[in-house]
Amino acid sequence: MAFAVVSHFLVDMMIGIWPVYKTLAKVDLAIAGLIGGACAIAGEGLQIFFGSLSDRGYRKTVILGGLIASTASVCFVYTQEVFGFFVFYLITCMGSGAFHPAAASLVGSLPSNRMGLLMAIFTCGGAIGMALSQVIFLQTHQFFEGQVFWLALPTAILAILIYFSRIAGQPKSSEATPHFNFKAFGDFFRRKDLRMLYFSQICSATMLWGTMFLLPDFLSVRGYEPWISFGGGHMMFILGSAAMMIPGGYLADRYSSRSVILTAMISGMILFYTLLFLPLLDDISTLFILFLFGASLGVINPVAVALGTRLEPNKKGMVSAFLMGLVWCVSEGIGVGGGGFIATFFTDDAPAKSLAILGTLFFIGVILSYYLPQEAEKTLALESI
């Protein structure tokens, strides 16, 4: 569990660098969105493959590979070419695609009746890493005068520790061979409960990634101070999600995953449009709303993944990939790629207008969340007997 949480912190810290670096490097929003969306689809989409590898006994190898590949984000500063940005971010996304289903299945394999809480702690570690990513990157860039390769050192040390340690899910037989299991995903889509859960995650995750991608530009255009636009706002947004993940996991275990997801979706929608349509908010109020908005969005995915592993307990790696990788590659494509593309149609307050259009997904997400199953409550009721 400790390896999973710390690793998640480091991997997601690397993912959070691109949204602010593209603004600092003054990359065109449409191009930056295309890079982010394409890399997410290609890299995160590989969770389908890596989830299968993890379930077949290669969990440790996949986690190590994902950790090391994610450090490619530190190479952004060493190129000025769009193709270079694409290659380094693609490698980072592939590392993320390898790490997340393997680490989530590791957490899901732990013996506990509080799987929602454990999954929330795991996700919280990643959220804190992503929250601090831009601040850590900018401070490292300033302190070491652009030599940000030092950010890869903690990951290298952790990878060595994991390599010489034994974790759950190592191969029990040399006969285990990897394979693609696309049929499992088809089976998941044919089930109404998992289908509703998947598409509700598309809606919430699109808003999460779209907001994170456009937030530096949104805050900068609205005239906020640089420390808020370049790191501070992002930190409060993601810290909000981290702060609510563990309480949300507890509430999902205690009451209902469906209730937590539905409540979070509704509150997120209200806070989102409050942020967009009240442009004269002061700094403190804006940061506070960003914190609450992040709390609403951030709690949804770990609760959904925990619910998914309860609904399909024999394929935890695959269902984790289904509800993370297959969700993220689509939602990042829409939120990042689509958000950047939509912004090019406007000249005045373009990031806010792009986000407002993406925000229509909240209404769809609320409807889908309403029809989620109450399976978590039934499971807990049986466990308490």
- What's the total number of domains in the chain? 1
Residue type, 82: V
Burial profile 194-207: b = 16 or more Cβ within 10 angstroms, e = fewer: bebbbbbbbbbbbb
Q: At what angle do helices 17-24 and 192-221 cross, to 10 degrees?
A: 30
Contact 343, 29 (CB under 8 A): yes
Question: What share of the chain in percent tops pLDDT 90?
Answer: 22
Residue 335 DSSP symbol: I
Contact 154, 136 (CB under 8 A): no
Does a structural domain hold residue 171? no
Q: Would you state the structure tokens that stand for residue 122, as one six-digit string?
A: 């795991």
Kindly indicate the confidence band of residue 378, based on its pLDDT and cuts at 50, 70 and 90.
Answer: very low
Q: Is the pLDDT at 375 greater than 50, yes or no?
A: yes
Does a structural domain hold residue 175? no
Read off the CATH number of the domain in which 158 is found.
Answer: 1.20.1250.20
- What's the mean pLDDT when you consider all of the chain? 83
Contact 98, 46 (CB under 8 A): yes
Kindly indicate the confidence band of residue 59, based on its pLDDT and cuts at 50, 70 and 90.
Answer: confident
Residue-wise pLDDT tens digits, 218-242: 998 888 888 888 888 989 998 888 8
Residue-wise pLDDT tens digits, 119-133: 778 878 888 888 888
Kindly indicate the confidence band of residue 157, based on its pLDDT and cuts at 50, 70 and 90.
Answer: very high
Q: At what angle do helices 29-39 and 82-108 cross, to 10 degrees?
A: 40
Residue type, 294: G
Higher per-residue confidence, 355 vs 51: 355
Does a structural domain hold residue 140? yes
Does a structural domain hold residue 357? yes
Does a structural domain hold residue 289? yes
Distance CA 3, CA 38 (A): 30
- Domain hosting 19: range is 2-166+180-383
Mean pLDDT of 90-106: 86
Distance CA 356, CA 73 (A): 29
Contact 71, 152 (CB under 8 A): yes
The whole-number pLDDT of residue 181 equals 56
Does a structural domain hold residue 173? no
Q: Is the pLDDT at 94 greater than 60, yes or no?
A: yes
The whole-number pLDDT of residue 315 equals 73
Does a structural domain hold residue 206? yes
